[in-house]
Amino acid sequence: MRKSSSQKGYILAILIITVLFVTVSITYVTSLSLTTYNLATRDVYKSNAQMTADAALDIALSNINTSGIAAYSSTYSNETDFLSSGNMTTTYQIAVIDGASSDKKTLAVIARTKIGGNTKITRRYEVDIQEVTSGTSGSSVVSGVGGLILKSNAKISGGDVIVNGTITMSNNSQIGLSTTPLANAINVRVAHTNCPNPVDSTYPRVCAPSENGEPISMGNTAKIYADVRATNQTTSTKMSKPGLIPNQTVAPTAMPNYDRQYQKDHVDETISSSAAACSGGSKTWQANTKITGNVTVSNGCTVTINGNVWITGRLNVNNNATIKVADSLGATSPVIMVDGATSGHNYAMTINNNGILKPNSSGTGMMIITYWSAASCSPDCTDVTGTDLANSQTVQTVDLSNNGSASKSILYARWSLASIDNNGTLGAVAGQTVQLSNNAVINFTSSVPGSDNQTSTWTKRGYMRVYQ
């Protein structure tokens, strides 16, 4: 049976409609796929720009904390390539914008994703950053490579402790107080810079992790209540509030410096040791005085110093004698340089039997520096290292004992050992080796010049995208 023309036309119409439907469907699916691909590609561009911006901000903040805020200016830096894959690259630019105060800034970044050098996506972000300072403006105990030794119930109840060598504690000795709030904890910093062992010409240097043990050793009854950070220290027992902060590397701290030559060059008057000595009564030492030989102040005598004094021999203050800072000096702290060579127990400087270093009415004490060392250049050495330093750090040149008092004052054994004994009071102490013993309970009232252990860190305070 033959199909009619109408039937043929109906079939053709259906075929045409079907072809059109299939064509439209293919076109739609193709378009949808292309749109999805474009959207996915754009998402990749966005993600890369976002990750580049985040990474750039982290890099910049790290650079700021390493090199200082001046590493960046308020204008955007040149574009820096961050990621490269095929013909796609990402770049970033950084700027630091001043805030309401010097410790508040805005860290800004522009990140771009580029294809063949043409920018496809740009992202801008700003992070509020703030400078946070930790540590104190100065430390009350600063010890060189010889380290800090506490024994026989000695205690440090206040003031940060900076040690380049090691800390050795025994017999109920203690750093910090269990009653001190955590926020006010003493900072203890130990650099472990007393290698090699045995000593050679490279001494001192920082010890390797497996070299020369750990820098802090504590007897069974010793305690530390402090924020403790120490190179190569892993043992944290008997430390709390907050105790040992693990995996820390502490940089060595330069021992306090003083311009000895300047003081020597500005001597106005030279007197003999007999003219300077005093037993009962009172005397005055004028500013910029040089005293030749050994000087003893004893038996209730009061010596007032009007400025810097240089003693070529030894200084002994004992039996209720006093050396006092003149009120006219105000906040200016005088320096007494003591050169005296040591022999047996003839220490370069002694304050004992109720001897007193007394601050003036403004609360200003003095600094006494002993300069003896085992080196041939003593007492005028500008540096002592190697075996000379090792041999010097065990020789005691500073002795504060038997209720001697040096409130507000600083005792400094430049190349040698300073010993604080028998309940002496003291402003601050520094030395290549510092030893506290025999019930010495030290609540320091001063800080060692140049011992600033403050650290400043810029931290993130806010984060936002900038739409432009």
pLDDT digits (tens, 9 = 90+) for 257-296: 899 999 999 999 999 999 999 999 999 999 999 999 999 9
| Whether 13 and 41 share a structural domain | yes
Which range of 250-259, 375-384, 400-409 scores highest in mean pLDDT? It is: 375-384
Q: Which two tokens stand for residue 125?
A: 């972000």
Of the candidates 313, 309, 275, 306, which has an alpha carbon nearest to the alpha carbon of residue 292?
A: 313
Task: Give the pLDDT confidence score for residue 93 in this predicted structure.
Answer: 93
Would the pLDDT of 454 be above 60? no
Give the whole-angstrom CA distance, residue 386 versus residue 8: 112
| Whether 142 and 83 share a structural domain | no
Mean pLDDT of 288-315: 97
Mean pLDDT of 440-454: 62
| Whether 254 and 388 share a structural domain | yes
Instruction: Report how many domains make up the chain.
Output: 2
24, 31 Cβ separation under 8 angstroms: no
Number of H helices, E strands in the chain: 4, 31
Task: Give the pLDDT confidence score for residue 4 in this predicted structure.
Answer: 56
Name the band, by pLDDT with cuts 50, 70 and 90, for residue 9.
Answer: low
| Whether 397 and 296 share a structural domain | yes
| Whether 248 and 391 share a structural domain | yes
Would the pLDDT of 137 be above 50? no
Q: Is 179 exposed, middle or buried (0-12, 13-18, 19+ CB in 10 A)?
A: exposed
Q: Which two tokens stand for residue 241?
A: 């509030």
Instruction: List CB contacts of 112: < 8 A, sequence separation 6 or more.
Output: 49, 52, 79, 90, 91, 92, 119, 121, 122, 123
More confident residue, 284 or 42: 284
- Encode pLDDT of 353-378 as tens digits: 999 999 999 999 999 999 999 999 99
Task: Give the pLDDT confidence score for residue 135 in this predicted structure.
Answer: 47
Task: Give the pLDDT confidence score for residue 199 in this predicted structure.
Answer: 96
Give the whole-angstrom CA distance, residue 282 versus residue 135: 42
Of the candidates 288, 292, 296, 369, which has an alpha carbon nearest to the alpha carbon of residue 329?
A: 288
Give the whole-angstrom CA distance, residue 405 versus residue 135: 28
Task: Give the pLDDT confidence score for residue 134 in this predicted structure.
Answer: 45
| Whether 153 and 277 share a structural domain | yes
Mean pLDDT of 229-243: 95
Lowest-confidence region among 3-7, 138-142, 363-367: 3-7
Name the band, by pLDDT with cuts 50, 70 and 90, for residue 343.
Answer: low
Mean pLDDT of 14-27: 64
- Residue 380 to residues 203, 254, 374, 418, 447: CA-CA distances in angstroms? 20, 18, 11, 19, 25
For the four alpha carbons of 285, 286, 289 and 292, in that order, the dihedral sign comes to negative
Q: Which two tokens stand for residue 278?
A: 């005093």
Task: Give the pLDDT confidence score for residue 117 in this predicted structure.
Answer: 87
Q: How many CB atoms lie within 10 A of CB 173?
A: 25
The rounded percent of the chain whose pLDDT value lies above 90 is 55
Task: Give the pLDDT confidence score for residue 64 in this predicted structure.
Answer: 82
Range of the domain at 315: 136-452
Task: Give the pLDDT confidence score for residue 155 in this predicted structure.
Answer: 85
Instruction: List CB contacts of 249: < 8 A, sequence separation 6 or more.
Output: 231
Name the band, by pLDDT with cuts 50, 70 and 90, for residue 213.
Answer: very high
| Whether 161 and 73 share a structural domain | no
The rounded percent of the chain whose pLDDT value lies above 70 is 83
Question: Is residue 93 helix, strand or coil?
Answer: strand
| Whether 125 and 273 share a structural domain | no
More confident residue, 359 or 104: 359
Which residues is 292 bridged to in the sheet? 272
Q: In what order do the strands lie in the sheet with 88-98?
A: 80-85, 88-98, 104-115, 118-134, 455-465
| Whether 109 and 150 share a structural domain | no
| Whether 268 and 395 share a structural domain | yes
| Whether 375 and 392 share a structural domain | yes
| Whether 84 and 151 share a structural domain | no
